[in-house]
């Protein structure tokens, strides 16, 4: 009888243990989901002010957020203090920024050109302020000593970008282009990506950003990761399926002396606003952006690729199909005769 009671106790304890384990896993999953939501809208209440001009950027893994912070300081340093202040705010990137613009919660947004192109077809209030840099698709792969026979996208799930972001969309389109099937995407907080790709807990990590990118650099230099090099055939297939994309080559040794030449794609970015934004404000932003890029490129190289050549600007504009804001048109009318073809002021 005693032996039977002991068996019952063991079974009860096993059931309790299983219940605790299930509860713990559920709590961990809830915690991860909450972490993922940290960078999503709504914006903090203190940003809702007539004295703030809010710039929607992106997450810290990419280029939008650090570049936006530099533009915030540059604009504010040159702004009449009575005229308000600029604030660069972290978002999920292009898709978030379009939604925030069209609901009048931000005044400017950094947006992938194709997202702006599609959004303009639905809402004609969208306007271009100026083209920005090209975002380069950089697929980080785990260290070769941890994955010696690696074939993209690896045997385990990877980071495709934040939920509902343009980065995640590009990853999806690349997978569809290459006929890669199955649930390949891990739900990972952005602050964990670098450590997880570094010890091969992720099969890949997608970084779609202007170069050089610090996350990519750190992954290669400190974690000994690599970059996925698409074949010419793969690249062409991807180009055919990703709107507005162009072929791009990251030179050998760009991030590290052992880094080989990498074949990938890039997508243009633009700074956008809406027709509701005052023309004087947009004219000021256009002027400061063009003046600031030569100075800011010393701190962040992506600014070196912001086009000031009128032909390059018009090429991006034609491809995007979104009209310039009236404030930008004013600036162009005033400066078209004093700008040389390379965008520098002529004497």
What gap in Å lies between CA 214 and CA 62, rounded to an integer? Answer: 8
- The answer on 299 and 260 residing in a single domain is no
Share of the chain above pLDDT 90, in %: 59
What is the reported pLDDT for 45?
Answer: 45
Higher pLDDT, 316 or 144: 144
Query: What would the mean pLDDT of 215-228 be, rounded to a whole number?
Result: 97
Per-chain mean pLDDT for the chain: 84
- The answer on 100 and 70 residing in a single domain is yes
CB 20 within 8 A of CB 28: no
Q: Which of 123, 129, 131 is nearest to 102 (CA)?
A: 123
DSSP label at residue 154: -
- The answer on 178 and 276 residing in a single domain is no
Tens of pLDDT, residue by residue over 244-303, are: 898 999 999 999 999 999 999 999 999 999 999 999 999 999 999 999 999 898 888 889
- The answer on 140 and 262 residing in a single domain is yes
- The answer on 259 and 161 residing in a single domain is yes
Q: Where residue 125 sits, what CATH number does that domain have? A: 3.40.190.10
What is the reported pLDDT for 312?
Answer: 79
What is the reported pLDDT for 60?
Answer: 83
Higher pLDDT, 61 or 253: 253
Tens of pLDDT, residue by residue over 104-129, are: 999 999 999 999 999 999 999 999 99
Cβ within 8 Å of residue 185, ≥6 positions away: 157, 158, 159, 160, 168, 171
**Cα four-point dihedral sign 208, 214, 215, 218:** positive
- The answer on 170 and 201 residing in a single domain is yes
**Last residue in a domain, options 267, 299, 315:** 267
Higher pLDDT, 148 or 48: 148
What is the reported pLDDT for 345?
Answer: 38
> Global pTM?
0.71
Query: What would the mean pLDDT of 306-312 be, rounded to a whole number?
Result: 80
The tokens describing 266, both together, are 């890039």
- The answer on 56 and 202 residing in a single domain is no
Query: What would the mean pLDDT of 79-94 be, rounded to a whole number?
Result: 80
3-state helix, strand, coil in the chain (%, to 5): 45, 20, 35
pLDDT value at 1 more than 60: no
**Last residue in a domain, options 214, 245, 267:** 267
Query: What would the mean pLDDT of 205-212 be, rounded to a whole number?
Result: 92
CB atoms within 10 A of CB 69: 18
Share of the chain above pLDDT 70, in %: 81
Q: Which of 71, 115, 120 is nearest to 96 (CA)?
A: 115
- The answer on 236 and 277 residing in a single domain is no
- The answer on 311 and 206 residing in a single domain is no
pLDDT value at 337 more than 90: no
**Last residue in a domain, options 267, 299, 326:** 267
Residues spanned by the domain of 96: 45-133+270-335
What is the reported pLDDT for 125?
Answer: 96
Is 298 domain-assigned? yes
- The answer on 291 and 247 residing in a single domain is no
How wide is the angle at C-alpha 67 spanned by C-alphas 62 and 68, nearest 5°? 105
pLDDT value at 343 more than 60: no
Is 324 domain-assigned? yes
- The answer on 149 and 238 residing in a single domain is yes
Cα–Cα distances (Å) from 140 to 132, 154, 260, 271, 311, in that order, read 24, 11, 13, 27, 34
pLDDT value at 326 more than 90: yes
Tens of pLDDT, residue by residue over 3-43, are: 555 566 655 666 656 566 565 555 545 444 444 444 444 45
Q: Verify cis geometry, omega within 30 degrees of 0, for the bond prior to 153.
A: yes
Higher pLDDT, 308 or 224: 224
Higher pLDDT, 198 or 24: 198
CB 155 within 8 A of CB 84: no
- The answer on 293 and 263 residing in a single domain is no
| Count of domains observed in the chain | 2
What is the reported pLDDT for 264?
Answer: 98
What is the reported pLDDT for 212?
Answer: 86
């Amino acid at each position: 009888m005693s032996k039977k009671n002991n068996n019952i106790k063991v079974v009860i304890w096993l059931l309790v243990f299983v219940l605790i384990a299930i509860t713990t896993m559920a709590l961990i999953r809830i915690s991860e989901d909450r972490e993922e939501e940290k960078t999503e809208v709504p914006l903090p209440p203190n940003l809702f002010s007539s004295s703030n001009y809010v710039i929607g950027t992106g997450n810290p893994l990419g280029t939008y957020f650090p570049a936006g912070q530099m533009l915030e300081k540059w604009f504010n340093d040159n702004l009449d203090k009575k005229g308000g202040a600029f604030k660069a705010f972290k978002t999920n990137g292009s898709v978030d920024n379009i939604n925030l613009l069209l609901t009048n919660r931000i005044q400017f947004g950094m947006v992938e050109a194709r997202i702006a192109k599609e959004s303009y077809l639905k809402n004609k209030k969208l306007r271009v302020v100026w083209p920005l840099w090209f975002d380069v698709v950089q697929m980080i792969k785990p260290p070769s000593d941890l994955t010696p026979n690696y074939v993209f996208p690896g045997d385990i799930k990877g980071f495709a970008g934040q939920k509902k972001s343009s980065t995640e969309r590009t990853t999806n389109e690349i997978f569809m282009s290459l006929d890669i099937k199955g649930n390949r995407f891990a739900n990972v907080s952005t602050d964990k990506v670098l450590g997880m790709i570094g010890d091969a807990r992720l099969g890949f990590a997608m970084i779609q950003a202007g170069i050089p990118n610090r996350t990519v650099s750190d992954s290669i230099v400190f974690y000994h990761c690599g970059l996925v090099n698409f074949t010419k055939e793969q690249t062409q297939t991807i180009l055919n399926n990703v709107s507005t994309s162009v072929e791009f080559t990251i030179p050998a040794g760009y991030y590290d002396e052992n880094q080989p030449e990498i074949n990938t794609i890039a997508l243009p970015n633009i700074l956008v606003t809406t027709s509701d934004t005052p023309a004087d404000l947009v004219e000021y932003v256009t002027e400061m952006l063009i003046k600031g890029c030569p100075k800011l490129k010393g701190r962040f190289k992506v600014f070196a690729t912001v086009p000031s050549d009128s032909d390059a600007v018009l090429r991006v504009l034609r491809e995007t199909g979104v009209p310039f804001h009236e404030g930008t048109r004013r600036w162009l009318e005033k400066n078209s005769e004093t700008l040389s073809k390379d965008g520098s002021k002529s004497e």
